[in-house]
Structure formats: C-alpha cells, structure tokens
Amino acid sequence: MDDNGEIRHIPGAIRLVTAAEAAEIFRVKKLTIYRWAKQGKLPSWRVGPTGRMLRFAYSDIVALIRQRQAQPEDAKRVGK
C-alpha cells in the first residue's frame, strides 16, 4: 500500500483471489471452488497464520477458462 492507502500493483507479483471471487468468475458456488481445489482441478495456495485460508492464482483461473473453452461442448464441465 502506498501512503494514500491505495494498493499498488507490483510487477511480476502473482494476483491471488479468494474462493468467493473465483466462484463469481466461474459463476458457480464457493463450495464448487473448494471441491475443484481438493480434486486438484484448480491449484490453490494456503495463506494466513494457520494456513487454513485458500487463495487462487488469477492466471490459473484464466488458464482453466481457456481450457474449458477449447473443449467440445459436451465436455465443458470441469473434470470431464
């Protein structure tokens, strides 16, 4: 953060989003995001002092969306 309380972009930094933000991007429930993380379909990062909070790299979300878009219509469900 700068002196004005604004968050500055750090070049080369990984942009992490919460499960709620990822769910909004995919238009699914937050539980679906947690399930995908547990199944290894969406890589996650454990953060916080206890490591209980999950965060997701925005670049991984974009990659999964592109992967799904490249699949035939009948296989667009994640995990197929």
Angle at CA of residue 14, ends 77 and 76, nearest 5°: 10
Domains in the chain: how many in total?
1
Q: What average pLDDT does the segment 32-50 reach?
A: 94
Neighbouring C-beta atoms of residue 31, cutoff 10 Å: 10
Domain range for 50: 16-75
Tens digits of residue pLDDT in 2-25: 566 665 666 777 889 999 999 999
Residue 71 has pLDDT above 90, yes or no: no
Cβ 8 vs Cβ 1: under 8 Å: yes
Between these two residues, 73 and 59, which has the higher pLDDT value? 59
Cβ 18 vs Cβ 25: under 8 Å: no
Q: CA neighbours within 13 Å on the CB side: how many for 43?
A: 9
Domain membership of residue 3 (yes or no) is: no
Domain membership of residue 27 (yes or no) is: yes
Domain membership of residue 11 (yes or no) is: no
Cβ 54 vs Cβ 45: under 8 Å: yes
Residue 33 has pLDDT above 90, yes or no: yes
Check which CATH number belongs to the domain holding 59 and give it. 1.10.10
Q: What average pLDDT does the segment 65-76 reach?
A: 76
Domain membership of residue 21 (yes or no) is: yes
pTM: 0.72
